[in-house]
Amino acid sequence: MTRSIYFPESELDIIGLRGSAGAWNFHTGKEKQVIITTSTQKAEEWKRNLVCFNPALRVMCFPVLPGTPYVPIPLHEKTILERKRAIQAMLTGDWDVVISLPQVFFETYPVKQKLLTTRIALEVGTVIDPECLVKSFIQLGYSRVDMVSAPGEFAKRGAVLDVFPPLRDYPVRLEFFDDELEEIRTFDPESQRSVQMLKEFTLTPHDVWQVSRDEIQFFAKKGAETWNHSPSRQHFLKHLQNLQETGSFQGYQHWTPFLFEETQHFLDFPGGSFRLILDNSSEIESMLSNYSGQIETQELEARQAKRIYAQSNVLFNLSDFPRLAIPEGCRLVTLNNRLEDKKKSLSLICTVNRNPTGKQLFQQVETYLQKSAHTRVLIVFHSAALKKRFIQYYDQIEATELTGFDELPDDNGVYLLEGHLTSGFEWTDRRLILLSDRELWPEHRVQSTQTMSRTWFNSEAMDMKVGDLIVHEDYGIGRFDGLGEVKAGPYTYEMVTLTYKDNAKLHVSLSQIGKIERLSSEAGTPNLDSLGGTRWIRTKEKVKKALEDMADRLIQLYAVRSQVQLDPCSEDDVLQTQFEEVFEYHPTPDQIRATMEIKSDLASGKPMDRLLVGDVGFGKTEVAMRMMFKLVNEGKQVAFLCPTTVLAFQHYMTCKERFEGFPVHVGFLSRLSSKKERDRVLMELKDGVCDMVIGTHRLLSADLVFKSLGGLVIDEEQRFGVRHKERIKEMKKDIHVLAMSATPIPRTLNMALTGIRDISIIKTPPRNRLAIATTVSQFDWAYIKNAISFELSRGGQVYFIHNKIETMPDLKETLQELMPHLEIGMAHGKMAPRELEDIMLQFIQNKMDVLVATTLVENGVDVPNANTMIINRADKFGLSQLYQLRGRIGRSDRAAYAYLLVPRRRQLTERARRRLEAIEEFSDLGSGFRLAAMDLEIRGAGNLLGASQSGHIQAVGYSLYMRMLREASRKLQGKRFYEEVNPVFNLKTGASIPKTYIEDASQRLAVYKTITGSLKKGELDNLKERIGDCYGKLPEKVESLFKENEVRIGLIPHKVLSVDREGSQLHVRFHQKADVDLNRLTSIVQSISGAELRQTGVLVLPITSRNVALETLQNFFHELES
């Protein structure tokens, strides 16, 4: 039977603090405060409101450990960072308010002294073995990667060690000379360039605390006493082995009393006097009692399953359990919504009505403004633009602008200031009505600056694995068999080994690595080409002909549209500027550029036909709405066409909210509209009353008549059928068209289609987008229940992917029995379209907790509130599909979790096991998922260019296809095609990248490809600096490699194909289209003893030794240019 958890009697009980009134009451900062509230969302609101009222307050949230000791959930990197930051602040006293959830009372931690001593102090000149540091980094919980880009990672490259501590803005680079630490510097994880030199540096554990040898010994001792003579012994020994090998086991943070002889509780951290505020204490006590009951149930299940277990008072170190003690110096204050028999209560406070619309909104605002005669009305705006808009609209109101809450006077009236407030309140006793702009205008989601990403070292060469299919530009499809060594004279060189048909081997110089690319997995398993065969030549010719035909059709279509004349749109007026300024967030650079490109099209006098590409949540709709508003402002109507009712409804709600308060009438047409509504919208479109209509293919009906249609926005055009596409083509002839696609389209395709198709690409992700914590685990209902409960506790929703339709009802029924309180929906492809759309709409509108669905959601709509995905039988999915499924979550700044469930490993095939290993290895946006993303871009290119072109892309490889497309388009536009000829050097001078300098073969490949692919000297110089910064001082062989490539770049204008050293001669081969003055070339050759220009077109230059090869080349071509 579950025991009720309760607290000591509070010193003060406050009744009726609603909205942001609690934060207002406790924002002064005169006393340190710990606030316990009931959900992650409420914790975030407390933090935002406190900082709004008092920007000087040091406020932080402390996330609780997800899961339980018996069914732990992996910690997200964001959770680790926030927990560590809060505890570090409390240890040093650098805090004012910490906010957490009730479960924090069941957590235990090492004592303060232990937390302060677990760290490594380093300074310039320290003598220490770098390999010892590597072991220490692992013991402190850091993960080894190729390149550091996120907190908790470290990397070793020769004499360089990089590490990213969680509490630092930048990672730290340590450069050694033997065992002496020569330099300490911070660096930018995006560019990998150094930022600042440091004299010293202290590294703390990645997590709040980490297990050392002492803790392992204590766990062995206490664990033996507890479980050695019980059925749990084997499970205990397995955990002990994991601790000894890796320093952790899953969920070890829950078992602190078994790792440390002394422990403390969360409330022991503040020390001294502080105020403990329980926000809704009755609900908090209920949550704790339920959690305690869950622990007791799981403890019993653990005993039965022969896993480690412990009684709650031991596990949580609670001597007075179930009474929760509070430390000396802690003043307990409880907040409740109903009157209880407590010492004192405050008067009831009314909250403000949220999200009114239309007339209701303005009536409510007018009501509050009228009260300003006898109270203070304070309105908080998140931006100056919104405040300006309010002043212009209510110009008859005398309002005083403030710069801070501390300026608020006692006099009645209307006051305005800027700040970020979640909600307001009305507090009669204090003569105060506080309004946030979210009570005047609806909310929008954050779109802001670009997040950190891996950049220059991101080459697909890094991701090439032995056994991968590749395409060589000259020889066709082969298999990558790794790097081999070939001896030439006194030097040993690394070569790429490729295998072709009949096991024929091809050794490719690393100077030619640019000619090799990994074949997309979309291509399936094509046959290998034969070395010396003709199939590859025929394939290239076939693709070239198809490309020319496609480019010709596109150019003809473009020419027809270019003959149509439209009235050009005028410059932005005041209304357009206001509309763009009131956007709640700063537009990203890509959004700004796309908007400018669209406005340029609208002002050209020609019909626009532009494709706008960007992932879901990247801000395409905001760009489209700016275009739509501009056209409406010019007296035109706009149609917004969507492939499904669900998408149409979501766009309708977004547009309706965004255009609120502006003279724009938005209509909606779909099966969700009643006949009366449909008839009304049709009439309003015909009469010109309706400025904008959003709907499905109903917009393509013949009975739909516009008074003055000027623009068409199409979402996911490729998802419409042939008949609908023909109707769209008819509509396109004399109006502006903006097509939007969430399928990724690479920028290289945009470049290839320059002049025959206009594309704007939004690749800037939303601000604070986090990597998705991805875990592979065996199917376990207790684990699933914990994962769902954790997501629901923070107000979120869950996708449960189950790809077997016939067993889906059974799974839903079991889940419902396990968690009766859940609202569970089911979605699959065999449902009637209307039924499926209804289910999806309910999920979007947050009327459902869990959606059990097949993979049909992989191309779904945006549900930012869904941030947990459980994928059953993940071993049945490919990497690309898992990547796309996983992309449904993590679309906000909230930590997202993907749980990949599999049967027991012994039931898996060898192929499935290897795939799972790849998923585990690359779960955090790593190279495996980068490959999947690359495959999706290739698929996106196929979607845009047509199904037939997808096959051609797969046949010749993406890079070669794009070059051929550029050539075809320029040829058909009558432009001369200047093919990029990148000379290949084979001088046998020993220029190379030693293994001792860059140990990892994948990284060496990537660096070779980047160096040999550089086409400008500036690029090469910049790259040289970066590599020296990232890997340490350049060895002589690498210096020679850069010198060689500097000369190579100088030969690009001369269209030199290759330079080979044959003994004491250099053989220079030119491209057949090389623009060379033959008379001048012949004259120079005749003036050099031993030089000749052979009939085959090969230029032969004599050299006295390999050391003068580069100088000879430079001198010859310098004279040729003069």
Whether the predicted pLDDT of 631 surpasses 90: yes
> What pLDDT sits at residue 701?
83
Task: State the residue for tokens 């903006």.
Answer: 738
User: For the segment 1078-1119, what is each residue's pLDDT rounded down to a tens digit?
Assistant: 888 888 888 898 899 888 888 999 988 878 888 888 888 888
Q: Where are the alpha helices (DSSP H) in 994-1097?
A: 1001-1013, 1017-1031, 1036-1051, 1078-1086
- Which of 299-308, 943-952, 1057-1066, 1097-1106 is least confident? 943-952
Encode pLDDT of 499-538 as tens digits: 999 999 998 888 888 888 887 655 567 889 998 888 999 9
Q: What is the pLDDT of residue 76?
A: 82
Residue 129 token pair: 């073995």
**1100: which strand partners?**
1067, 1092
CA 532 to the chain's CA centroid: 45
Position 975 scores a pLDDT of 60
In a 13 Å sphere around the CA of 163, the CA atoms on its Cβ side amount to 25
Among 254-258, 614-618, 754-758, 810-814, the range scoring the smallest mean pLDDT is: 754-758
Can you tell me which residue has the tokens 């059990």? 852
- DSSP letter assigned to residue 127: B
263 SS3 class:
strand
At residue 941, does pLDDT exceed 80?
no
- What is the pLDDT at residue 511? 80
Burial of residue 502 (CB within 10 Å: 0-12, 13-18, 19+) is exposed
Nearest Cα neighbor of 47 from 72, 30, 71, 22 is 22
User: Residue range 1012-1028: average pLDDT?
Assistant: 88
DSSP 3-state of 902: strand
Quote the distance between the C-alpha of residue 450 and its chain's center: 10
What tokens appear for 176 in the block? Answer: 């050694």
Share of the chain above pLDDT 70, in %: 85
Crossing angle between the packed helical segments 947-956 and 927-945, to the nearest 10 degrees: 130
pLDDT digits (tens, 9 = 90+) for 3-29: 556 677 777 777 777 778 889 988 887
**pTM for the whole structure:** 0.71
Q: What is the pLDDT of residue 175?
A: 92
First vs last C-alpha separation in the chain:
95
Domains and CATH numbers, the chain: 12-107+264-336 (3.40.50.300), 119-203 (3.30.2060.10), 356-439 (3.40.50.11140), 564-762 (3.40.50.300), 773-924 (3.40.50.300)
- CA–CA distance from 624 to each of 590, 610, 621, 640, 916 (Å)? 13, 11, 5, 9, 40
What's residue 879's pLDDT? Answer: 67
Mean pLDDT of 174-188: 91
What is the chain's mean pLDDT, rounded? Answer: 82
* Amino acid symbol at 473: E
- Is the pLDDT confidence value at 655 over 80? yes
Q: Label each residue of 429-441 as H, E or C.
A: CCCEEEEEHHHCC
| Sign of the C-alpha dihedral computed for residues 334, 339, 345 and 351 taken in this order | positive
